[in-house]
Amino acid sequence: MKTSAITTAIALLLCGSAAVALAQSGSSGDGLREQVYPSPRGDVILRYGQPPPQAWPAKPSFEALDRNGDGSIDENEAAAYPPLANDFIYADKNRDGRISRREYERW
């Protein structure tokens, strides 16, 4: 009985390592790596990694973003420049929901 359990465990280990050995790795066009694991129901593709950063144009002037001319940039105005919209909570140091000229220059 012990021998059959050990034999079964070894067989399972060998099958698992064979599946790993059949896995193919590569790189996709967007900078992510991918690992392909064959499966009876179709390949399983694992994509992982950090994509390259997106290049944005230079930071626009404060006036260009302050469309209503009230002296601050709100979240709707910040959406015109996605990096600022992404960092809005960090750029708005006093957490008043607006970015002043000084906060924008420090950002």
Successive 10-residue mean pLDDT values, the chain, 107 residues:
60 51 55 87 89 84 93 94 93 92 94
Segment holding 46, helix H or strand E: strand 44-48
Q: What is the pTM of this model?
A: 0.51
- Predicted local confidence at residue 25, as pLDDT: 57
Copy the structure tokens of residue 4: 């059959």
- Predicted local confidence at residue 56, as pLDDT: 85
- Predicted local confidence at residue 19, as pLDDT: 46
- Predicted local confidence at residue 18, as pLDDT: 45
Cα distances (angstroms) measured from residue 32 to each of 36, 47, 105, 106? 13, 6, 34, 33
